[in-house]
Chain A
């Protein structure tokens, strides 16, 4: 009799109650997961995030949940919800310590947000387990570089570019620029040659080599590379004026004036061109002619350009 009553009771038990007593019904999670994967691949992050709640309530398998956490995290990032992404990645890192995707994304977010020390801790942890992880090596290099630890940054940039056999040209540029900043001429030169071989008509690489030679004090070589850079980017104002600056600094004031005049013909109030022309005239002893160009640079120049022009003006005033 008691068995009959129990059977009767169970027959009319609501579904949730049934699951409570006897476990889940048909597993809907693979189907839900497929839908979320499809949404994620289509870039429909709103739908991924919307479905995630009910998916997780279905108590999916650990493997599916791990992947969905990845989708959710990337979606939060795409939607600019960094705080939610951080919370999710922190949770997922704890649940899946062997999956370095979460730690890597967390480290990237910290890096972008300027929390360099936090990102260094995470990238270092990843590299200790996976020394060949390209993104982690690059991330660690960037974090060190932004804090000013250029030697430490060099170690990881070096490893990152080697991992791609110098094929990641964006990373190669970053690394070369860092070596210019560190005044590591041999390394910068080697990287610039690699870059030039890969992109023979790109102005970036001869400009880098020009900076290397100027750093060594050889303006003749520097100008040869700068000419080549200008040839590849003939419309570039910054390159033309950097070349004109090298001309002034190498004592070739006549050519510097010609270079500055070309820029001034296009834009008569160009402050850097005005300063370069003024410095060239100053060097030639044409103090009075230089004054109006210094004044123009003080008036229209960026802060440092204006300060340098101002310092010259003081001198030219005294020499008058």
Chain B
């Protein structure tokens, strides 16, 4: 009896699994799972769909200084997948990357800005600041290189002229109010969003004194919803300060960073999907490491992409199946 059972079991093991591999193929073919087949087919359909046949998708990009360049890597991975992005919001470095993307600058070119960051001398604005210099000058400094970079790439553009709706966040230095920019002159708004309080002079704009939005809204998910996003994917660069800062500016940056992370942990839950590139070993002012941050963005986003697609697809039922 036991022998018969053994023979039966052996035969069953040898029998082809129903529908396992493309039976009849000469070469071995990878057998896709049901989930793979379904995700692939539905995703292809979703990528080709426009609202209202799918939810409107917002991308919220956090602050994080040089680490924020990981957003470029996230954008690269999303682009490979054809991930629809209908609107963008950004804080601080997220505002810089987001505004370029909303302007229609290709992801490849955004990468180039990061790789060339050292040549743009953006880091100089950060690393050159010494306490003595600040005290001697008795006034806040102007980030010459950052201003130059923003002016040369965003120039005289307005929000209204961008290819995608865009919002960026700054804080009114006098009142502590969170200011969300969605219209008007773009360069000033982005410049305000990336403007470190206490070191760089506040940006005077529309009767306000504006500084970095990371202090009040590290991940601008609300701003993306304000633009009309039904579903928001947030790219967040986490902070894990381990080293003692070298100078007064970097100390301040670290404080802002820690504060940003605390805000982020509260607001993350409001996103429909989160991607958190692993960039904790990059300091806020390590602009020489932008490419490394970008790589980290690609790697993390690629790992999470299938889940992001699934989340958006589930949210797209039944819109995807209704007539346009």
**A-to-B contact residues, CB < 8 Å:** 147-151, 169-170, 173, 177, 181-183, 199, 201-204, 207, 211, 214-215, 217, 229, 232-239, 241-242, 245-246, 249, 266-267, 271-272, 275, 279, 282-283, 301-305, 307-308, 311-312, 315
B298 contacts chain A at the CB level, 8 A cutoff:
yes
Cβ contact of A308, chosen from B26, B298, B313, cutoff 8 A: B313
How many Cβ-Cβ contacts under 8 Å join chain A to chain B? 124
* Segment 41-56 of B: residues with Cβ below 8 Å from A: 41-42, 44-45, 47-48
**B9-44 Cβ-contact flags toward A at 8 Å (1 or 0):** 000000000110111111101111111011111101
Q: How many residues of B contact A (CB 8 A)?
A: 44
Q: How far is the CA of A169 from the CA of B28 in the complex (A)?
A: 11
Closest Cβ–Cβ distance, residue B298 to chain A (whole Å): 5
Kindly list chain A residues whose C-beta atoms are within 8 Å of the C-beta of B32: 238, 242
Q: How far is the CA of A21 from the CA of B314 in the complex (A)?
A: 81
Kindly list chain A residues whose C-beta atoms are within 8 Å of the C-beta of B77: 148
Q: Is the CB of B27 within 8 A of A169?
A: yes
B130 contacts chain A at the CB level, 8 A cutoff:
no
Kindly list chain B residues whose C-beta atoms are within 8 Å of the C-beta of A308: 38, 42, 313-314, 317
B81 contacts chain A at the CB level, 8 A cutoff:
yes
Q: Is the CB of B24 within 8 A of A235?
A: yes
Q: How far is the CA of A235 from the CA of B22 in the complex (A)?
A: 7
Q: Is the CB of A203 within 8 A of B29?
A: yes
Q: A169-B27, A242-B37 are in contact. Are A279 and B321 (CB under 8 A)?
A: yes
**B-to-A contact residues, CB < 8 Å:** 18-19, 21-27, 29-35, 37-42, 44-45, 47-48, 76-77, 80-82, 295, 298-299, 301-303, 305, 310, 313-314, 317-318, 321
Q: List 30 A-B contacts (CB under 8 A).
A: A148-B77, A148-B299, A149-B298, A169-B27, A183-B82, A199-B26, A203-B22, A204-B22, A204-B25, A207-B22, A215-B47, A217-B48, A229-B22, A232-B25, A233-B24, A236-B19, A236-B21, A239-B22, A249-B45, A272-B34, A272-B38, A279-B321, A304-B38, A307-B310, A307-B314, A308-B313, A311-B314, A311-B317, A311-B318, A315-B317
Q: Is the CB of B41 within 8 A of A267?
A: no
Q: Is the CB of A238 within 8 A of B26?
A: no
Q: A204-B22, A234-B24 are in contact. Are A282 and B321 (CB under 8 A)?
A: yes
Q: Is the CB of B37 within 8 A of A245?
A: yes
Kindly list chain B residues whose C-beta atoms are within 8 Å of the C-beta of A305: 34-35, 38
Q: A279-B321, A308-B317, A315-B317 are in contact. Are A271 and B34 (CB under 8 A)?
A: yes
Q: Is the CB of B23 within 8 A of A233?
A: yes
Closest Cβ–Cβ distance, residue B286 to chain A (whole Å): 19
Q: Is the CB of B298 within 8 A of A147?
A: yes
Q: Is the CB of A241 within 8 A of B37?
A: yes
Kindly list chain A residues whose C-beta atoms are within 8 Å of the C-beta of B18: 237, 266-267
Cβ contact of B25, chosen from A170, A233, A312, cutoff 8 A: A233
Q: How far is the CA of A217 from the CA of B46 in the complex (A)?
A: 10
Kindly list chain B residues whose C-beta atoms are within 8 Å of the C-beta of A283: 321
Q: Is the CB of B41 within 8 A of A249?
A: yes
Q: Is the CB of B27 within 8 A of A202?
A: yes
Closest Cβ–Cβ distance, residue B35 to chain A (whole Å): 4
Q: Is the CB of B24 within 8 A of A147?
A: no
Q: How far is the CA of A182 from the CA of B82 in the complex (A)?
A: 8
Kindly list chain B residues whose C-beta atoms are within 8 Å of the C-beta of A266: 18
Which 4 A-B residue pairings sit nearest by Cβ, starting from the closest?
Answer: A237-B19, A148-B302, A311-B317, A235-B23
Closest Cβ–Cβ distance, residue B77 to chain A (whole Å): 6
Q: A236-B24, A282-B318 are in contact. Are A181 and B38 (CB under 8 A)?
A: no
Kindly list chain A residues whose C-beta atoms are within 8 Å of the C-beta of B42: 245, 249, 308
Q: Is the CB of A302 within 8 A of B34?
A: yes
Q: How far is the CA of A307 from the CA of B39 in the complex (A)?
A: 11
